[in-house]
Chains A and B, each alone.
Chain A
Amino acid sequence: MTTALPQTSPEIGGMGHSVKRKEDPRFIRGKGEYIDDVNLPGQLWLDIVRSPYAHATIKSIDASEALKVPGVAAVVTGKDLEGYKLHWMPTLAGDMQMVLPTDTVMYQAQEVAAVIATSRYAAADGVAAVLVDYEPLPVIVDPHKALEDGAFVLRPDRGADKQTNHIWHWESGDAAKADAALAAADVTVSEDIYIPRIHVASIETCGCVADWDPVRQQLTLHMTSQAPHAIRTVLALVAAGAGLPISEQNIRVKTHDIGGGFGGKVPVYPGYVLAVAASFLTGKPVKWIEDRSENLQADSFARDYHIHAEMGATKAGKITSLKVRTIADHGYSDAAADPSKFPAGLFNVITGSYDFDNAFVEVDGVYTNKPPGGVAYRCSFRVTEAVHAIERMVDILAHDIGKDPAQLRMENFIRADQFPYKTPTGWEYDSGDYAPALQKAMDLIDYAGLRKEQAEKRARGELMGIGISSFTEIVGAGPSHDFDILGLKMFDSCEIRVHPTGKVLARIGVQTQGQGHETTFAQIIAQELGFPVADIKIEYGDTDTAPYGLGTYASRSTPVAGAATAMASRKIRDKARKLAAHLLEASEDDLEWTPGEFHVKGSPDRKKTIQEIAFAAYTNHPAGMEAGLEAVDYYDPPNLTFPFGSYICVVDIDKGTGEVHVRRFVAVDDCGNIINPMIVDGQIHGGLTMGFAPALYEQITYDENGNNLAGTFMDYLLPTAVETPAWELEKTVTPSPHHPIGAKGVGESATVGAPPAIANAVVDALWHLGVRNIDIPITPPKVWAILHEKGIA
């Protein structure tokens, strides 16, 4: 186990130093290069005609007026793409999705035609001039109705045996054992919990500039992607299927700077494919940039899980069993960005932080007339849904049996001595120590004092609640025996080149969308090799230069590519040892490493610095040894990592308006060994805010006709600085035993852990009124309606 890492000096800036970010100087000056900042000579613009209907037959598309608009060069329809077999494309989940429809639209805002023009404004004028004649069809918004007998079959394109809106069934655990344990339980609780459809809404929308060079037969795709290598391979496969002369060595995907990802920039959207097709047709670079409404209405959503959970326990509150049935609304196509063997992601991590033997989880995927998707919204493949369900159920159980929710958790936690811990659904948690994290949070927030205050306030008729969430995350997908996307194993990579003057260039297979990889990956190398962070340059996001990797999502950068970076560094250190032995005329076994130098044991003055060794690798390497100092590592993790934490939230509820005010929120996180404390805290701040947002504000809703009711930032509410609480952070450190630097992942933990803490606090404030559950987002109207019904408001 990697527990104690050598401490490097601040000048080296290895792990544990709050090194200021290397990427910031360009961002604070407005010199970042985001996708809409990329402009190429002769570039055309692409804009998209979108459907006003959620379900309709396209009777005709008349582009004649659009083609008369000054500057409009072409209008592309599904019929045009059909000739190249490009009107449908595969999704990452192995389903099919339309690039442009030939006959039917399946959701409001679906792409219907593309206009290519000489300017942004001319393209928009062209879009307004395209006339489409629609015949509306019946709309299915509710996934339960989609499953009813006689429901309109939304996807007749599937095989004769699949003429149903049911996509797939997935299950995990032992149903018979879970049933038996539930039947034998002293106490059972059951609840319906809906995790609503939400959107990542990164402040930068999606876009690309596709640049097909017909002479060189080279496609360069500048795009907003969290997984550029996977995109390159998918493009190559789609092009080959379409008979297009675009092969993988001639495809270059470049991501530039990305203005937030959160899972929304993992999928391939029709706009990207249309821009590539338009560039191929015109021989010119073509830019496509979504506006905010397109982003919210058409890009992949997250969540939308209808969960029914049953939990069994002893009279004393020892959990014995959990059974969960879920309907997953995928819209008209399953475009989830999950590992291929996991259509419901890692949802079966739903047994959480608790030690019990009997669990069964089943999920059914369903089609509706909504946009396709199923991306993460800053979490690892459906973990937020799982954590919300288990943390709500544990709280309901505690309240039902009259036991303090903190005490019930303490009595059910997996104990530190049980790790590595096998869960009843098959995961092996690598490490954890849950009780101290909860105790730390309770001490920080004065839990006992708050309970006393709550009792006093309740006696006065005031509504105050305290909510806990003790979550376990599952990140770092993943081990190649189980984890792949479309067959591509989910390893990741790092290539390090040490230059003769002792400066370092490292390229990684993952991407940064704000996480700070240019700094933290340099710190890993600084930790392992002793080069100062200032001397290390990290590159990524260019498939022509970076080693192959599956990209950044599901908190996999540090667990997978971070491990590859440590391992590649160690390969370099191994060669450096041989070089040092040569230079010092000593045996390799007689050399000792301290960060930045080898010295002869017992003779600290007989030493060579890593910089001297680097120079020798090019100027004075021994006979029989290859010149140079480089290494590459493709890291296949032996297991996932399991970060955890305990959060406690205090809310006050305004009886007049139903508004929930988060008075305090204490977050104790454990992400194993920490690379950069400043960046870890920043990730937790952001993660908490993206947990707070869906707990109280965000939801994409649809009316019965499938109209999106949250298609702009006027209706889809992102929290501002005014609403966002002042987060209080603390840590415990339980290193991952299998990760080379003992790190886990951290970017998403707080988004996963925060919503149930807030929901539990609100229900805690209202439990005495007979309230057992409130689905998120817990908006003022929702709370006011409850208070009104109970005669309080």
Chain B
Amino acid sequence: MTLQHITVTVNGEAREADVEPRLLLVHLLRDVFGLTGTHIGCDTSNCGACTVHVNSQSAKSCTMLAVQADGAEIRTIEGMVAGADLHPLQQAFWDQHGLQCGFCTPGMIMQAAWLLDQNPQPSEEEIRAGISGNLCRCTGYVNIVKAIQQAAGTLSASASAPVSAAASTEGQAVSAEPVSAG
């Protein structure tokens, strides 16, 4: 099969590859670039485990061809950290026990990041609708919703203050019980 040369920017880094036109974007990310944080959970765009950002839009990378991403800026879960600092959503998922097996988590965080980008102060109903293309089998979504609410608070606080407030939630109590960092 004829290979096609593509150039993409992934998490700020320029990458090139010669790919079959039929190669799925998710396989480009996982199998060619080795970014295995993006997962595959279905083949029908239902589960959202493969959610990434393509040109700042949320996209299900199992339903997009790699060649369609030629020239695009792509952000994956691996690109959410800033150095050693967690993104407020990553911190919030940890604080709020918003994950169990962790398999849907990268896609859920990417979708939530896009949601908060579009709607920085969503209601609970808007959060639930906003992540309805991402399936989680473990958490019942309760703590995912709480995590997105926490991150929305952190992000809006940091948007209004010059200094990042990302670290302020470290060790936050998740219940009335005593809490300590694992």
- Chain A residues with a Cβ under 8 A of chain B: 10-11, 13, 16-34, 36-37, 39, 120-121, 200-205, 257-262, 291-293, 513-516, 519, 522, 533-534, 677-679, 681-683, 685-690, 712-714, 718, 720-722, 724, 726-727
Contact B38 A30 (CB under 8 A): yes
Complex contact A16–B177 (CB within 8 A): yes
Whether the pair A28, B93 counts as a contact (CB closer than 8 A) is: yes
Q: Which residues of B contact A29 (CB under 8 A)?
A: 37, 77-78, 80-81, 86, 90
- What are 23 A-B contacts defined by CB distance under 8 Å? A17-B179, A18-B178, A19-B181, A20-B95, A21-B94, A28-B109, A29-B37, A30-B37, A33-B36, A203-B47, A203-B137, A258-B101, A260-B138, A292-B44, A678-B97, A682-B138, A686-B100, A689-B137, A690-B137, A712-B43, A714-B44, A720-B141, A724-B128
- Check if B42 is an interface residue, CB within 8 A of chain A: yes
User: In the complex the two chains form, is B182's CB within 8 Å of A721's CB?
Assistant: no
Contact B109 A720 (CB under 8 A): no
Q: Is there contact, CB below 8 Å, between A292 and B86? A: no
| Seed contacts A29-B86, A37-B36, A682-B138; 20 additional CB < 8 Å A-B pairs | A10-B179, A18-B179, A19-B179, A27-B99, A29-B37, A30-B78, A121-B22, A121-B23, A203-B135, A257-B101, A258-B101, A259-B39, A260-B101, A292-B42, A514-B102, A515-B100, A681-B175, A720-B132, A721-B136, A722-B129
Residues of B close to A21: CB separation below 8 A: 94, 97, 182
Q: From B81, B102, B136, B181, give the contact of A257 (CB < 8 A).
A: B102
Residue of A nearest to B142 (CB): A685
Main secondary structure, interface of A, reads: loop
What is the minimal beta-carbon distance from B170 to any residue of chain A, in angstroms? 10
Given contacts A685-B143, A713-B135, contact A36 B40 (CB under 8 A): yes
Q: Which of B35, B99, B141, B180 contacts A24 (CB 8 A)?
A: B99
CB distance from B78 to the nearest CB of A (A): 5
A677–B127 alpha-carbon span in the complex (Å): 25
Q: Is the CB of B86 within 8 A of A28?
A: yes
- A22-B182, A677-B177 known; A721+B37 contact, CB < 8 A: no
Which residue of chain B lies nearest to A532 when distances are taken between CB atoms in the complex? B180
Known A-B contacts A20-B181, A31-B37; A682 and B97 likewise in contact (beta carbons under 8 Å)? yes
- Asked if A28 and B41 sit within 8 Å, CB to CB, the answer is no
Using a CB–CB cutoff of 8 Å, the interface residues on chain B facing chain A are 20, 22-23, 27, 30-31, 35-44, 46-47, 49, 76-78, 80-81, 86, 90-91, 93-95, 97, 99-106, 109, 124, 127-129, 131-145, 173-175, 177-182
Q: When chains A and B are docked, how far (Å) is the Cα of A720 from the Cα of B45?
A: 13
Closest partner residue, chain A, to B135 (CB atom) = A718
Assembled-state Cα–Cα distance A741/B26 (Å):
45
Question: Which residue from B97, B103, B144 sits with its C-beta under 8 Å from A203?
Answer: B103
Structural contact, A30 and B36, CB atoms closer than 8 A? yes
Residue pairs across A and B with CB atoms within 8 Å: the count is: 222
- Complex CA gap A33/B106 in Å reads 13
Q: Are B135 and A293 in contact (CB under 8 A)?
A: no
Distance in angstroms from A725 CB to nearest chain B CB is 9
In the bound assembly, the distance between CA atoms of A28 and B144 in angstroms comes to 12
Cβ of A721 and Cβ of B138 under 8 Å apart?
A: no
Q: Taking the nearest CB of chain A, how far is it from the CB of B35, in angstroms?
A: 7
- CB-CB under 8 A from B101, the residues of chain A are 202-204, 257-261, 513-514
Min CB–CB distance A222 → chain B (angstroms): 14
Nearest CB on A from B66, distance (A) = 12
Are the C-beta atoms of A686 and B137 separated by less than 8 Å? yes
B103 touches A20 (CB 8 A): no
Q: Is the CB of B140 within 8 A of A689?
A: yes
Residues of A within 8 A of B94 (CB): 20-21, 24-25, 28
- The interface residues of chain A lying within 8 Å CB-to-CB of B141 are 685, 689, 720-721, 724
Provided the pairs A34-B39, A203-B104, A678-B97 are in contact, do residues A718 and B137 lie with their beta carbons within 8 angstroms?
yes
Give chain B residues whose Cβ lies under 8 Å from the Cβ of A261: 101
Q: Are A727 and B142 touching (Cβ within 8 A)?
A: yes
Give, as a whole number of angstroms, the nearest-CB distance from B91 to chain A.
8
Most buried by B among A200, A262, A721: A721
Partner of B140 from the list A13, A16, A679, A686 (CB cut-off 8 Å) is A686
- Name the B residues within 8 Å of A24 (CB-CB): 93-94, 99, 102, 182
Shortest B90–chain A CB gap in Å is: 4
Chain B residues near A10 (CB-CB < 8 A): 178-180
Known: A28-B99, A30-B77, A204-B101. A19 touches B142 (CB 8 A): no
Q: Is A202 touching B137 in the complex (CB atoms < 8 A)?
A: yes
Closest to B42 in A: A292
User: Nearest chain B CB to A331's CB is how many angstroms away?
Assistant: 23
Residues of A within 8 A of B31 (CB): 39, 120
Asked if residues A682 and B100 are in contact (CB atoms below 8 Å), the reply is yes
Residues from chain B with a CB closer than 8 A to the CB of A686 are 100, 137-140
CA distance A687 to B138 in the complex (A): 8
Residues in B neighbouring A20, C-beta threshold 8 A: 94-95, 97, 174, 179-182
Contacts of A33 in B (CB 8 A): 36
Least Cβ distance of B10 to chain A in Å? 13
On chain A, the residues within 8 Å of B142 by CB distance are 685, 726-727
Complex CA distance for A677 and B176, rounded to whole angstroms: 10
* Bound-complex Cα distance A454 to B78 (A): 51
Contacting pair A120 B27 (CB below 8 A) = yes
Contact partners of A16 in chain B: CB under 8 A:
177-178
- Chain A contacts of B144 at CB under 8 A? 721
Listed from nearest, the 6 A-B pairs whose CB atoms lie closest are A30-B37, A259-B103, A514-B101, A27-B102, A30-B77, A689-B140
Once bound together, how far apart are the Cα atoms of A117 and B102, in whole Å?
30
Q: In the complex where A721-B144, A727-B142 touch, is A293 in contact with B182 (Cβ < 8 A)? A: no
CB nearest neighbor in B for A13: B180
Residues of B within 8 A of A722 (CB): 128-129, 132
Q: How far apart are B119's CB and chain A's nearest CB, in angstroms?
A: 15
Which residues on the A side are within 8 Å of B91 (C-beta)? 28
The complex places the Cα of A726 from the Cα of B41 at a distance, in Å, of 25
Could you say which residues of chain B place their CB within 8 Å of the CB of A689?
137, 139-141
Report A-chain residues with C-beta under 8 Å of the C-beta of B99.
24, 27-28
CA distance A334 to B104 in the complex (A): 32
Chain B proximity of A713: nearest CB distance (Å): 4
C-alpha spacing A428/B104, complex, angstroms: 40
B39 → A minimal CB distance (Å): 7
Contacts of A18 on B, CB cut-off 8 Å? 173-175, 177-179
Determine which of B42, B137, B180 lies in contact with A533 in the assembled complex, contact meaning CB atoms within 8 Å: B180
A349 to B101, CA, bound (A): 30
Closest A residue, CB atoms, query B104: A203
Q: Within the assembled complex, what's the spacing in Å between the Cα atoms of A26 and B103?
A: 11
Distance in angstroms between the alpha carbons of A331 and B77 in the assembled complex: 41
A685 and B140 contacting across the interface, CB-CB below 8 Å: yes
| Complex Cα gap A19–B97 (Å) | 10
Q: Give Cα A17–Cα B174 distance, bound, in whole angstroms.
A: 11
